[in-house]
């Protein structure tokens, strides 16, 4: 398999599958094309997503649902051992990808017909140039997989340079474990809070949790949701619309009535930040702002492109609890996990970043 201009490692975890005339590919191979994934530990459910679009694949039932809960007429996914295979044609069309099948000639691997399944979100090389550039790598990988003696290298066409020693496999993604990311949410009445909590429940094994900043109206209108947030291990804070201490006292009293807890964490939008910071300093509260705040429609790439990568840096991400956030958040969490960011829960003992 290949994604764009990159040849994937040649092993069982990347090997396509043909069944009933349908070409299937392991869902993990789509990561390099920008399609992220999350799954349960038993692989009975896999979610694939790219920006705001996603599909839920129920491997045990053989059904696939779109982000509106509609069952798609896809060929049933295939689960073999610890791998889940998805239909190439349908998944490519759904996520606006293209694909092609490239025949590898006998000058690369003699006496056997080999095809490369190439998925593309962006590409520069033609199929012919792709085979020329990766010919040595394909031969070496094939020989290693089947324990054959390597055959002599092919002669490259005029004007095309064949790399003498191509890499055997793609390098692992970089680790940013020494970069800290803090997640927080506000406006739990925006329509997506339940889905966001469901997502955090599904990802509990990876240790992700967050802080939800609640206004007085949020608490008064959603007491059961407040108890679920607090009972799920998330931190709660007070959201100040006008930045006053009286507003904090009102919301704090409602919070104690709803969930029998109190907090000294407060936050606000930029307009009320001056007053909120002043009130926090005067009354022993902890003000928590945001490096970036996302309140409307946004894409996963907008969030991830802004994340720092230098050692020792930190980043405060804040989202409204909207349906747009619920759709994009899986991609954000997958990016944090893939690149090993340290996601730290906001608490009263964590010192806010400047």
Range among 97-111, 232-246, 293-307 with highest mean pLDDT value: 232-246
pLDDT of residue 165: 44
CB 78 within 8 A of CB 24: yes
pLDDT of residue 164: 42
End-to-end, the C-alpha distance of the chain in Å comes to: 46
CB 182 within 8 A of CB 346: yes
Point out which residues pair with 22 in neighbouring strands: 19
Q: Model-level pTM greater than 0.85? A: no
Rounded CA-CA distance 5/139 in Å is 17
Is 149 a residue whose pLDDT tops 50? no
Range among 38-42, 80-84, 220-224 with highest mean pLDDT value: 220-224
pLDDT of residue 351: 65
pLDDT of residue 86: 94
Banded model confidence at residue 170, pLDDT cuts 50, 70, 90: very low
Is 173 a residue whose pLDDT tops 80? no
Banded model confidence at residue 20, pLDDT cuts 50, 70, 90: confident
pLDDT of residue 337: 82
DSSP tag of 27: G
251 vs 33: which has the higher pLDDT: 251
Sequence spans of domains, the chain: 2-146, 180-343
CATH number of 2-146: 3.30.457.10
Where are any strands of DSSP class E within 134-278?
180-186, 211-214, 235-239, 265-267
Is 167 a residue whose pLDDT tops 50? no
Topology of the domain comprising 180-343: TIM Barrel (3.20.20)
């Amino acid at each position: 398999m290949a994604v764009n201009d990159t040849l994937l490692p040649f092993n069982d975890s990347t090997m396509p599958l043909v069944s009933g005339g349908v070409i299937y590919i392991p869902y993990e191979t789509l990561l390099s094309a920008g399609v992220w994934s999350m799954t349960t530990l038993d692989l009975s459910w896999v979610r694939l997503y790219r920006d705001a679009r996603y599909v839920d694949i129920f491997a045990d039932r053989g059904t696939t649902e779109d982000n509106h809960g509609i069952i798609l007429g896809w060929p049933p996914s295939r689960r073999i051992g610890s791998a889940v295979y998805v239909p190439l044609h349908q998944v490519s069309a759904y996520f606006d990808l293209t694909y092609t099948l490239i025949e590898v000639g006998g000058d690369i691997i003699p006496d056997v017909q080999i095809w490369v399944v190439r998925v593309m979100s962006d590409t520069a090389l033609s199929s012919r140039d792709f085979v020329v550039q990766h010919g040595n790598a394909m031969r070496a990988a094939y020989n290693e997989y089947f324990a054959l003696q390597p055959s002599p290298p092919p002669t490259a066409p005029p004007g095309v340079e064949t790399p003498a020693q191509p890499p055997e496999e793609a390098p692992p993604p970089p680790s940013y474990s020494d970069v800290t990311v803090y997640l927080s949410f506000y406006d739990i009445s925006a329509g997506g809070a339940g889905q966001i909590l469901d997502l955090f429940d599904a990802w509990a094994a990876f240790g992700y949790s967050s802080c939800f900043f609640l206004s007085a109206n949020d608490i008064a209108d959603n007491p059961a949701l407040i108890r679920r947030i607090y009972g799920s291990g998330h931190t709660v804070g007070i959201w100040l619309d006008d930045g006053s201490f009286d507003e904090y006292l009102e919301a704090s009293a409602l919070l104690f009535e709803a969930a029998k807890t109190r907090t000294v964490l407060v936050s606000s939008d930029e307009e009320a930040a001056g007053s909120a910071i002043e009130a926090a300093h005067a009354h022993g509260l902890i003000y928590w702002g945001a490096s970036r705040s996302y309140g409307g429609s946004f894409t996963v790439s907008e969030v991830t492109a802004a994340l720092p990568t230098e050692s020792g840096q930190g980043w405060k991400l804040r989202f409204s609890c909207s349906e747009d956030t619920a759709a994009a958040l899986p991609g954000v969490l997958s990016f944090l996990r893939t690149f090993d960011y340290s996601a730290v829960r906001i608490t009263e003992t964590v010192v806010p970043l400047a």
